[in-house]
């Protein structure tokens, strides 16, 4: 099942992607929460009601609605650095012996097809195509062999990075470089975990149609279950929390010469079984200042 968050007639709510249509869960199952994190928190009865609704016919054409991030405001967005061997090598870093974790702020969430801002403070805006997973159950200290049971599903992420803010200073400032507004496009759907094997999916990133990253999630150093077990050793994970699992080789920063994103560029990240997200780079509008 492919769970989506969509906006239609200025109203944002949950739906199910069915071919080229959307089943509106607020019509098909009005008692369900209309927001994905609350829906996941409602547990198996809610999921079962959604599965029954998934047999119905679509309420809208996909083209008639706007898809949003599947989770609008995750409690946490956790990210893994250097989780593909070739990317660690192209970054001049050692292969990590344990997952390298940083966070993206939840205000960086962006829709799967929405513009990504290029701020005036950088000339080193970069992409990172990544597999993301979404927590389905509140959990702590989950062993690797139970991790699959607490993952609701998977989606695609571009871990957009402001390299000069990320890498300046010692130690580097991942938090400030990875969390600019609009820099966490996610989607297009939360594909439930029963639909795929997360560790055998082709992942490609294209900039203006040119393939920059092309790998398979079988090349992850730490797989989703190892990452989840590691994170939950320290803290509780909650429904709707998002974990982005790291990017393969081929980022713009590692090209020779380095290549930065600029206004007008189109970045597309595709993952087998999950579809694609595609975001245009735009100069950050002047009206983002708010105080």
Q: Which residues of the chain form contacts with Zn ion (CB under 5 A)?
A: 128, 159, 247
β-bridge pairing 77-81 and 66-68? unpaired
Cβ proximity to Zn ion: between 159 and 265 the closer is 159
Is 123:112 a contact under the CB 8 Å cutoff?
A: no
Cβ at position 89, least distance to Zn ion in Å: 16
CB of 140 or CB of 168, closer to Zn ion = 168
CB of 117 to Zn ion, least distance (A): 18
Question: Strand pairing of 116-118 and 125-126?
Answer: unpaired
- The H-or-E segment that residue 230 falls in is helix 224-234
Name every residue whose Cβ is closer than 8 Å to that of residue 175 and which is 6 or more positions away in sequence.
102, 103, 105
Six-digit token string for 143: 């062993």
Beta carbon nearer to Zn ion, 104 or 117 = 104
Contacts of 24 (CB under 8 A, 6+ apart): 8, 13, 15, 59, 60
CA 71 from centroid of its chain's CA atoms? 9
**Token pair for residue 192?**
């439930």
In sequence order, the β-bridge partners of residue 162 are 125
Closest distance between Zn ion and the C-beta of residue 132, in Å? 10
Q: Which is nearer to Zn ion, 117 or 183 (CB)?
A: 183
182 or 247, CB closer to Zn ion? 247
Q: How far is the CB of 51 from Zn ion (least distance, A)?
A: 32
Structure tokens at 62: 């996909």
Report which DSSP code applies to 66.
Answer: E
Q: Are 138 and 237 contacting, i.e. CB atoms less than 8 angstroms apart?
A: yes
Of 101, 44, 47, 97, nearest to 76 by C-alpha is 101
Q: Which is nearer to Zn ion, 3 or 82 (CB)?
A: 82
Q: Which is nearer to Zn ion, 40 or 77 (CB)?
A: 77
| Residue at token pair 């049971």 | 149
Residue 41: left (phi > 0), alpha (psi -120 to 50), or beta?
A: alpha
Q: What's the min distance (Å) between Cβ of 163 and Zn ion?
A: 12
Smallest distance from the beta carbon of 164 to Zn ion, in angstroms?
Answer: 16
Minimal CB distance to Zn ion: which residue?
159
Minimum Å distance from CB 208 to Zn ion? 21
């Amino acid at each position: 099942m492919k769970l989506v968050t969509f906006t239609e007639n200025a109203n944002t709510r949950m739906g199910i992607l069915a071919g080229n249509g959307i089943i509106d869960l607020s019509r098909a199952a009005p008692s369900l929460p209309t927001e994905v994190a609350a829906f996941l928190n409602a547990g198996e009865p809610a999921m079962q009601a959604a599965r029954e609704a998934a047999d119905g016919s679509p309420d809208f054409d996909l083209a008639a609605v706007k898809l949003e991030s599947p989770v609008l405001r995750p409690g946490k967005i956790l990210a893994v650095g250097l989780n593909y061997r070739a990317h660690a090598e192209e970054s001049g870093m050692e292969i990590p012996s344990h997952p390298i974790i940083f966070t993206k702020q939840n205000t960086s969430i962006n829709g799967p097809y929405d513009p990504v801002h290029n701020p005036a403070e950088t000339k080193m805006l970069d992409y990172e195509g990544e597999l993301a997973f979404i927590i389905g159950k509140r959990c702590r200290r989950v062993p690797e062999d139970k991790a699959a049971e607490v993952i609701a599903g998977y989606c695609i992420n571009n871990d957009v990075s402001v390299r000069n803010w990320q890498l300046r200073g010692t130690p580097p400032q991942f938090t400030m470089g990875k969390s600019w507004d609009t820099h966490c496009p996610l989607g297009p759907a939360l594909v439930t975990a029963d639909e795929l094997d997360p560790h055998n999916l082709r992942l490609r990133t294209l900039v203006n149609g040119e393939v920059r990253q092309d790998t398979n999630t079988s090349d992850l150093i730490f797989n989703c279950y190892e990452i989840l077990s590691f994170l939950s050793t320290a803290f509780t994970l909650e429904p709707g929390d998002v974990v982005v699992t790291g990017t393969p080789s081929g980022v713009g920063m590692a090209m020779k010469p380095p290549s930065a994103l600029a206004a007008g560029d189109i970045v597309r990240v595709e993952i087998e079984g999950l579809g694609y997200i595609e975001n245009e780079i735009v100069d950050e509008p002047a009206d983002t200042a708010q105080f």
